[in-house]
Amino acid sequence: MRKASVDFGSKRSGIAVTDPSGTIVTNVKTVPPTKIIEELKKIESLSEIVVGLPLNLKNEFTKSTYRAVDKAIEISRKMAPIPVYMVDERFTSSMANYEILSSNSRKSMVDELSASIILQDYMQGRIKIHRVFHVSPHVSEDIARFFSALSPKKIIMIGSALRGLEMYDISTFDIYEDDPVYFRLREVNIFRKKSRISLHFGVVWDIIQPYLSGEELIVCGSSHLEELSVEELPKGIKIVVESEEGYLKIGARSLNFFEVKSP
């Protein structure tokens, strides 16, 4: 089954495709960004699509990031059920430019080479990937009622845990999202609710912890809890952890709940 990659650009985009075994890049081309989906639909036996994610060196969103993520979400919607992934492409253009300068090739090949490098890195497992979904995250009303009963003054949501809870009028929210695709989906989803929701890209406990007063409710997954120094949290903070082995079963969710008793 073939794999394809897209190096998205606002003026032109590179597309690379593997052989039928999905192991060797055999075809590259440059197309206008409006023709990307049309070109992908021409590929026979296509099993996976990879789109480059252009974050800056500080791991921040730029205009290029927004354009690429929005295009990846569109590709996911129109190419379903073929899975789409985003991968870090911060150094691919530099590598492509270097190869072109070294070989005296034409400058227009940068997009093709970048797409090829993205696909090769993906196939060799060199870089972190993000699965692209085109639907907004959602949690059930049973979950919303559980949190409403806790009467939190502020809910701090970390990473992937219970995405979609912010759509209920339970409290004010501070959201720290570390997946660029879900960051964009959440940003679009909460556009009309920004007066009570603050959305940040990335999870850095050293930045979050100093602003905690003890009246917050933290929502996180077990992996993020392992990074948190619970003993350093203010007394009174409540924590809900989404876990596969949680003792609270609410619908399809498993949760653990506890309160920090001492600073």
Instruction: State residue 243 phi and psi, 5-degree precision.
Output: -145, 150
Please report the pLDDT score of residue 58 as a whole number. 81
The Cα 245–Cα 129 span in angstroms is 26
Dump the DSSP string for 145-172.
Answer: HHHHHH--SEEEEETTTTTTGGGSTTSE
Please report the pLDDT score of residue 100 as a whole number. 41
The helix/strand/coil state of 112 is helix
Please report the pLDDT score of residue 134 as a whole number. 93
Please report the pLDDT score of residue 136 as a whole number. 86
Residue from 156, 155, 154, 260 nearest 208 by CA: 156
- For the chain, domains (ranges, CATH) are 2-131 (3.30.420.140), 141-259 (3.40.50.150)
How many Cα atoms sit within 13 Å of 55 on the Cβ side? 16
Please report the pLDDT score of residue 255 as a whole number. 96
The Cα 45–Cα 15 span in angstroms is 16
> Residues for the chain: how many in total?
263
Please report the pLDDT score of residue 194 as a whole number. 63
Please report the pLDDT score of residue 253 as a whole number. 93
pLDDT per position in the chain (263 positions), as tens?
999 999 998 888 999 999 999 989 999 999 999 999 999 999 999 999 999 998 887 878 899 999 999 999 999 999 999 999 998 876 554 444 434 444 444 545 667 778 888 898 888 886 788 999 999 888 999 999 999 999 999 999 999 999 999 999 999 999 999 999 999 999 988 876 667 899 999 988 888 888 888 899 999 999 888 888 777 888 889 999 999 888 999 988 999 999 988 65
